[in-house]
């Protein structure tokens, strides 16, 4: 084929980095789905809003980490409000309605972002500049740091779910909402809390993603679609699966981008989704139930 | 302590309870008998707030609880042990217990004391405390389900067919557990298909048919004259 | 609403619409024609959303392929033929509809909705990047074919005759779709929407009904695309992008799902709103619209015309 080895190598690392960011978005989505059976059509737009809030905070304070924190907090609140006002009333109704409602909110978020921040792309300055030598190649520090940081957040989430006090509440509610309620767990509050956590994670991804590419209000759809593909391929509600799937999908796209244009590389993810839905609908990384 | 007055409950359009009236006093053990599908489980679900009555009232310790959500009622002191046990299969035994234990206003010492007490009554749970709930046998799951409800320090426990699906020799264990609960002063509302067990452990029984209470008598009377049992349960 | 009242109302509206090119200035005449075309698209979507209970975010694919299909006919076959354009467009939309129909039977709810979205985007990317054939970003321009009745006449369209042609096609489509949704077939579709499990249990082959529903929906959407191509003489990838599907869903919900006329009214309302408001607010008008839409989904899911749903379906 004659593809240069160093390009393949760079794309592998790029795929891993993008995969970790996507994993951060997707784990929020899968957590929400696992506990409430809701697919949040507006999830990608929360990423987008987080990035914008982060960019503005960055502009005013010059501190990247503060921007990350502020964005996560603000969007967590936005997410909680969204859940209480639009999703709680729809609980138990036709899932069609939830899709439509979150679609409506997605539209509002996109146009709000357009109104508030204008149509031109925002760039966030990366907090860690410079590159380092990986074998004989140069690779930006920031990208590696992003992947590590995203991994740390996901790791933190895992620990919180396994050992934290409210972790038990979340896991119990995910498994059996009715019995959790009968055990005194305030299920509506848990739902809102999880949605807020998922939103915060989405916002964090947005801010981490900011320095890698410009932020416009159209990136929301991209993230929503990719996150959804990952959640399906990884197994709905399966945290570990969605991380593996994120890396898998991102690597696929990164390699595809070597052969076709980046705009076309995205078809690879779409195909992965369609094939998974046809042949292993419970998820590629989930053992097929016997 | 617990009073249901003329309760009508629907599942969607199905009218399940057609005016049920039941009372359970402090520390009493009351039985609810009837064929399959007459609404016994629905009655329990109405009490614990998993469904809400369309008509009628449910009073607990003088408060009207008919509109309250289940999680509030659990904290007010109503424990629920459902049909099929429904323990959290992916949580460990200890985590299952913690769902009831982690409440506001419970000091760590009291928590440890509660756990100890439950482990004393159910030593097998202490053994298996790190195991996932789903790996326990049917009988062990039933014990876990009851122990879990006990973690709420309830004033009344609603037991829905605890012997269902268990081997006959475990019925004796269930009888013992009910007696333990009774000794602790916890009231019990027992829904069962096992008539001898029910008549043995309860003070009073209600017999339901087609969504209403058809008969109500002290257990002793029914033990002496089992005609009503033949009439309504066909056994 | 009695049958006479309904048909009288229907006739009045059709007559008003027919009179449009005679009384309105050209800009507004064109506007009315576009409303009819988008109305047709919205109505096609209603077959799935309103009657079968399946949300599709992929109608832009059917619409766009109808458009490009017609473009293909008008660009490759000389002299440009109206009926060939229709045929090509419908076949193109039909092939895609068959694909989607296949998935419809295996996926439910959100999985189906997002897969249809994915389909739209796949086609968008293909059309956008395959510049040699599809003209890429710039789309395709072509000439309007003449209105021809084979063997009888062939006259170029005037603004009026084009409008009447579109009106005729949309009206006939409406009557056809109405006939279908009122038929036993349509009743089964609605039963699937209400309770798929029960419908299957009664013995209906739910899959077959869904396939037919998707095919019908796709074909009428494609028809809309052909009409659009005829009216505007160009095809562009923007129409295949998912946002078009999204807007169609909005017309459906706000106008009233399951009424057929509701979505058409929704389209009219929307396009007028956009026209009126865009002078001042450009795209920001979608913020209050999005909020109203979401509120309607929660509190008024039957839409504006939903109150008349039973009457309109008699």
Q: Return d(Cα C314, Cα C260) in angstroms, integer.
A: 12
pLDDT recorded at residue B36: 85
In this prediction, residue C43 has a pLDDT band, given cuts at 50, 70 and 90, of very high
- What residue in B sits closest to A171 (Cα-Cα)? B91
Yes or no, beta carbons of B91 and A175 under 8 Å apart = yes
pLDDT recorded at residue A130: 64
What is the mean pLDDT of the segment spanning A73-92? Answer: 92
Average pLDDT of chain A to the nearest whole number: 86
DSSP SS3 for B55: strand
pLDDT (tens digit per residue) in C70-118: 988 888 887 788 888 899 999 999 999 998 888 877 777 778 888 888 8
C51 and C212 Cβ atoms separated by less than 8 Å: no
Yes or no, beta carbons of A97 and C298 under 8 Å apart = yes
- What residue in A sits closest to C253 (Cα-Cα)? A100
Strand partners, B14: B11
pLDDT at C227 over 50: yes
Least CB–CB distance from B99: residue in A168, A178, A186: A168
Q: Which residues of B touch A175 (CB under 8 A)?
A: 88-91
C275 and C282 Cβ atoms separated by less than 8 Å: no
Yes or no, beta carbons of A39 and C114 under 8 Å apart = yes
Min CA distance, A181 vs chain B (Å)? Answer: 5
Of all residues in chain A, the percent with pLDDT exceeding 70 is: 93
Q: Where are the domains of chain B?
A: 2-233
In this prediction, residue A175 has a pLDDT band, given cuts at 50, 70 and 90, of very high
The set of long-range contacts for C19-27, using a CB threshold of 8 Å and a minimum separation of 24, is: C20/C163, C21/C159, C21/C160, C21/C163, C21/C164, C22/C160, C26/C159
Give all strands (DSSP E) within B25-96, no chain letters.
29-33, 55-60, 63-64, 78-81
Shortest CA distance to A229 belongs to which of A248, A213, A201, A202?
A248
Q: What is the pLDDT along chain B (235 residues), one digit of tens a residue?
A: 899 999 999 988 889 999 999 999 999 999 999 888 888 999 999 999 999 999 999 999 989 998 999 999 999 999 999 988 899 999 999 999 999 888 777 888 888 998 999 999 888 899 888 999 889 988 899 999 999 999 999 999 999 999 888 888 888 888 999 999 999 899 999 999 888 889 889 999 999 988 899 889 898 888 888 888 888 887 6
Least CB–CB distance from A108: residue in C253, C290, C297: C290
- State whether residue A96 sits within 8 Å of chain C by CB: yes
pLDDT at A56 over 60: yes
Yes or no, beta carbons of C55 and A264 under 8 Å apart = no
DSSP strand pairing (B212-218 vs C140-141): unpaired
Q: Which residues of A touch B89 (CB under 8 A)?
A: 175
- State whether residue A184 sits within 8 Å of chain B by CB: yes
Q: How many domains does chain C have?
A: 1
Min CA distance, A35 vs chain B (Å)? Answer: 14
pLDDT recorded at residue A132: 64
Least CB–CB distance from A175: residue in B71, B88, B152: B88
- What residue in C sits closest to A110 (Cα-Cα)? C287
Taking a contact as any Cβ pair under 8 Å apart, which residues of chain A between 144 and 173 contact chain B? 165, 168-169, 171-172
Min CA distance, C100 vs chain A (Å)? Answer: 11
pLDDT recorded at residue A3: 62
Yes or no, beta carbons of A104 and C286 under 8 Å apart = no
CB neighbour list of residue A180: distance below 8 Å, 6 or more residues apart: A169, A172, A173, A187, A190, B71, B88, B99
Domain interval for residue C51: 3-312
What is the mean pLDDT of the segment spanning C41-59? Answer: 89
pLDDT (tens digit per residue) in C256-271: 888 888 898 889 888 8
- What residue in C sits closest to A88 (Cα-Cα)? C298
| Integer Rg of chain C from CA | 19
Question: If 0-12 CB within 10 Å is exposed, 13-18 middle and 19+ buried, where does residue B2 land?
Answer: buried
- State whether residue B103 sits within 8 Å of chain A by CB: yes
DSSP codes, A172-200? HHHH-HHHHHHTT--HHHHHHHHHHHHHH
Min CA distance, A287 vs chain B (Å)? Answer: 17
Yes or no, beta carbons of A172 and B99 under 8 Å apart = yes
Least CB–CB distance from A182: residue in B70, B91, B98: B70
Residue spans of alpha helices (H) in C54-195: 59-76, 82-104, 109-129, 131-134, 159-182, 184-194
Give domain status of residue A290, yes or no: no
Chains that touch C (3 or more CB pairs under 8 A): A
- Chain pair A-B, CB pairs under 8 angstroms: 63
- State whether residue A1 sits within 8 Å of chain C by CB: no
Least CB–CB distance from A181: residue in B69, B95, B152: B69
CA dist C86 to A190, C67, C91, C147, C149, Å? 55, 9, 8, 12, 13
Yes or no, beta carbons of C110 and A95 under 8 Å apart = yes
pLDDT recorded at residue C313: 67
The yes-or-no reply on A/C contact (3 CB pairs or more, < 8 Å) is yes
Domain interval for residue A60: 5-279
In this prediction, residue A187 has a pLDDT band, given cuts at 50, 70 and 90, of very high
Q: Return d(Cα A192, Cα A35) in angstroms, integer.
A: 10
In this prediction, residue A200 has a pLDDT band, given cuts at 50, 70 and 90, of very high
Q: Which residues of C touch A97 (CB under 8 A)?
A: 297-298, 301
Min CA distance, A135 vs chain C (Å)? Answer: 36
CB neighbour list of residue A204: distance below 8 Å, 6 or more residues apart: A24, A50, A68, A71, A72, A150, A153
Average pLDDT of chain C to the nearest whole number: 85
Region of poorest pLDDT, from B149-153, C190-194, C281-285: C281-285
pLDDT at C54 over 90: no
Give domain status of residue A124, yes or no: yes
Yes or no, beta carbons of B99 and A186 under 8 Å apart = no
pLDDT at A202 over 90: yes
Q: Return d(Cα B121, Cα B111) in angstroms, integer.
A: 16
Of all residues in chain C, the percent with pLDDT exceeding 70 is: 96
CB neighbour list of residue C251: distance below 8 Å, 6 or more residues apart: C38, C42, C45, C263, C266, C267, C270
Least CB–CB distance from C115: residue in A39, A96, A274: A274
- State whether residue C277 sits within 8 Å of chain A by CB: no
pLDDT at C211 over 70: yes
* CATH homologous superfamily of B2-233: P-loop containing nucleotide triphosphate hydrolases (3.40.50.300)
- State whether residue B100 sits within 8 Å of chain A by CB: yes
Shortest CA distance to C125 belongs to which of C76, C60, C70, C66?
C60
pLDDT (tens digit per residue) in A219-248: 888 898 899 889 888 887 788 888 999 999
Yes or no, beta carbons of B152 and A183 under 8 Å apart = yes
CATH code for the domain of A104: 1.10.3470
Give domain status of residue A285, yes or no: no
DSSP strand pairing (B78-81 vs B156-160): parallel
Chains that touch A (3 or more CB pairs under 8 A): B, C
pLDDT recorded at residue A290: 40
- What residue in B sits closest to A177 (Cα-Cα)? B88
CA B32, B37, B41, B46 dihedral sign is: negative
pLDDT recorded at residue A206: 92
Pick among A86, A96, A216 to test the C interface (most C CBs inside 10 A):
A96
Q: Which residues of C touch A257 (CB under 8 A)?
A: none
Give domain status of residue A42, yes or no: yes
Q: How many domains does chain A have?
A: 1
Least CB–CB distance from B98: residue in A168, A180, A182: A168
Tokens of C196: 């798929």
What is the mean pLDDT of the segment spanning A188-193? Answer: 94
CB atoms under 10 Å from CB of C11, counted, come to 10
CA dist A18 to A75, A118, A153, C9, C194, Å? 21, 26, 15, 58, 42
Backbone phi, psi, residue B78, to 5°: -110, 120
- What residue in A sits closest to C48 (Cα-Cα)? A96
- State whether residue A179 sits within 8 Å of chain B by CB: yes
Of the ranges A60-64, A275-279, C45-49, C198-202, which is most confident? C45-49
């Amino acid at each position: 084929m004659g593809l240069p080895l160093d390009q393949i190598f760079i794309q592998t690392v790029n795929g891993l980095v993008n995969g970790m960011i996507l994993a951060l978005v997707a784990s929020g989505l899968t957590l929400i789905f696992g506990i409430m059976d809701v697919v949040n059509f507006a999830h990608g737009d929360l990423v987008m809003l987080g990035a914008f809030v982060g960019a503005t905070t960055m502009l005013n304070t010059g501190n990247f980490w503060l921007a990350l924190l502020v964005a996560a907090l603000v969007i967590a609140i936005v997410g909680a409000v969204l859940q209480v006002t639009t999703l709680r009333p729809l609980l138990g109704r036709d899932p069609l309605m939830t899709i439509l409602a979150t679609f409506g909110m997605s539209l509002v978020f996109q146009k709000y972002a357009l109104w508030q921040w204008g149509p031109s792309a925002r760039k966030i300055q990366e907090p860690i500049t410079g590159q380092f030598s990986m074998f004989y190649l140069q690779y930006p520090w920031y990208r590696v740091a992003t992947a590590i940081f995203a991994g740390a957040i996901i790791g933190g989430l895992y620990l919180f779910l396994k050992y934290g006090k409210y972790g038990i509440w979340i896991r119990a509610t995910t498994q059996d909402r009715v019995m959790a309620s009968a055990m005194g767990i305030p299920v509506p509050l848990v739902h809102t809390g999880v949605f807020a956590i998922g939103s915060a994670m989405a916002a964090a991804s947005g801010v981490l993603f900011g320095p890698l590419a410009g932020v416009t209000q159209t990136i929301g759809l991209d993230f929503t679609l990719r996150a959804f593909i990952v959640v399906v391929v990884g197994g709905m509600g399966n945290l570990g699966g969605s991380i593996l799937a994120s890396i898998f999908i991102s690597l696929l796209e990164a390699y595809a981008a070597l052969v076709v244009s980046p705009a076309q590389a995205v078809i690879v993810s779409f195909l992965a989704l369609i094939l998974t839905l046809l042949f292993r609908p419970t998820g590629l990384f989930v053992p097929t139930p016997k | 302590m617990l009073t249901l007055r003329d309760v009508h409950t629907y599942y969607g359009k199905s009218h399940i309870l057609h005016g049920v009236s039941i009372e359970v006093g402090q520390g009493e053990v009351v039985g609810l008998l009837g064929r399959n599908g007459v609404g016994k489980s629905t009655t329990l679900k109405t009490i614990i707030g998993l469904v809400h009555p369309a008509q009628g009232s449910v009073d607990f310790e003088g408060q009207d609880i008919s509109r309250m959500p289940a999680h509030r009622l659990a904290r007010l002191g109503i424990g629920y042990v459902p049909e099929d046990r429904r323990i959290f299969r992916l949580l460990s035994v200890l985590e299952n217990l913690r769902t009831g234990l982690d409440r506001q206003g419970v000091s760590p010492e009291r928590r440890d004391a509660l756990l100890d007490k439950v482990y004393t009554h159910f030593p097998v749970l202490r053994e298996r405390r790190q195991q996932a709930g789903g790996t326990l046998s049917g009988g062990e799951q039933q014990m876990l389900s009851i122990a879990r409800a006990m973690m709420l320090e309830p004033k009344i426990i609603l037991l829905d067919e605890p012997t269902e699906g268990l081997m006959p020799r475990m019925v004796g264990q269930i009888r013992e557990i009910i007696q333990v609960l009774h000794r602790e002063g916890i009231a019990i509302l027992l829904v069962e298909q096992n008539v001898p067990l029910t008549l043995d452990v309860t003070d009073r029984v209600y017999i339901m048919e087609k969504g209403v209470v058809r008969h109500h008598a002290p257990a002793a009377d029914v033990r002496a004259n089992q005609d009503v049992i033949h009439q309504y349960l066909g056994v | 609403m009695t049958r006479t009242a309904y048909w009288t109302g229907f006739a009045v509206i059709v007559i008003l619409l027919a009179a449009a090119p005679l009384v309105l200035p050209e800009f507004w005449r064109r506007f009315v024609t576009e409303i009819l075309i988008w109305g047709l698209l919205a109505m096609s979507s209603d077959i799935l959303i309103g009657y079968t209970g399946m949300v599709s975010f992929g109608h832009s694919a059917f619409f766009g392929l109808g458009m490009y299909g017609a473009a293909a006919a008008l660009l490759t076959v000389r002299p440009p033929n109206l009926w060939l354009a229709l045929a090509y467009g419908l076949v193109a939309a039909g092939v895609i509809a068959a694909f989607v129909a296949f998935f419809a039977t295996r996926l439910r709810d959100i999985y189906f909705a997002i897969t249809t979205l994915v389909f739209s985007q796949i086609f968008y990317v293909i059309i956008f990047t395959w510049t040699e054939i599809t003209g890429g970003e710039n789309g395709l321009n072509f000439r309007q074919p003449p209105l021809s009745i084979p063997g009888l006449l062939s006259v170029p369209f005037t603004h009026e005759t084009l409008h009447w042609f579109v009106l005729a096609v949309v009206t006939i489509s409406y009557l056809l779709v109405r006939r279908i949704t009122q038929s036993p077939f349509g009743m089964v579709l609605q039963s699937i929407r209400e309770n798929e499990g029960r419908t299957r249990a009664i013995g209906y082959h739910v899959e077959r009904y869904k396939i037919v529903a998707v095919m019908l929906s796709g074909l009428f959407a494609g028809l809309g695309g052909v009409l659009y191509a005829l009216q505007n003489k160009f095809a562009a990838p923007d129409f295949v992008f998912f946002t078009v599907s999204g807007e169609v869903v909005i017309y459906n919900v706000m106008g009233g799902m399951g009424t057929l006329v509701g979505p058409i009214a929704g389209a009219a309302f929307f396009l007028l709103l956009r026209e009126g408001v865009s002078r001042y607010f450009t795209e920001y008008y979608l913020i209050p619209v999005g909020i109203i839409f979401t509120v309607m989904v929660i509190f008024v899911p039957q839409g504006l015309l939903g109150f008349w749903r039973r009457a309109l379906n008699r």
